[in-house]
Amino acid sequence: SREVQDLLAGDRLMYTVMADLAMRLSGGLIGRSGYSAIGAVVGATHPDVLRELRRKYDQLFFLVPGYGAQGGGAADVQYAFDRFGHGAIINASRSLMCAWKKTGADGADYPDASRRAAEEMKNELSAYVQVL
């Protein structure tokens, strides 16, 4: 992603050009929640970018992949949310689907291991993000 998102477009980085475009296209698409029907995907492993984009694009909803197996954690993704704990969905795939591999079992405990990993993720996020 860095090869594209960090390209210079004039004097701006491509990811800011795309966020500006998303906001321009959002005219008339802001819902009761205050967020646009158009969102942006911003990786969990780039907390500095999350912080910058949330501050500047307060009406874009963020999908934030990369939590868990890819290295993003609760301390990183906290910046995706607004001060009310809204505005983002944190996505974890491998860390939930493959949680059974950490149990040392044969995978028969997949549902329980996934549930425990999801609850752990929720608790980690709750330490950084309060939903009001």
Per-residue pLDDT of 21-51, as tens digits, reads 999 999 899 999 999 999 999 989 989 999 9
Per-residue pLDDT of 109-118, as tens digits, reads 889 999 999 9
DSSP conformation class of 38: -
DSSP conformation class of 64: E
Mean pLDDT for 65-81 is 93
Per-residue pLDDT of 82-118, as tens digits, reads 999 999 999 999 999 999 988 888 888 889 999 999 9
What pLDDT is attached to residue 14? 85
Query: Mind giving me the DSSP string for 90-131?
Result: E---HHHHTGGGGTTS-STTHHHHHHHHHHHHHHHHHTT---
Q: Angle between the 14-25 and 47-56 helix axes, to the nearest 10 degrees?
A: 30
Going by pLDDT thresholds of 50, 70 and 90, the confidence category of residue 129 is very high
- pLDDT of residue 7 exceeding 70: no
Going by pLDDT thresholds of 50, 70 and 90, the confidence category of residue 1 is low
Burial group, residue 79, by CB count within 10 angstroms (0-12, 13-18, 19+): buried
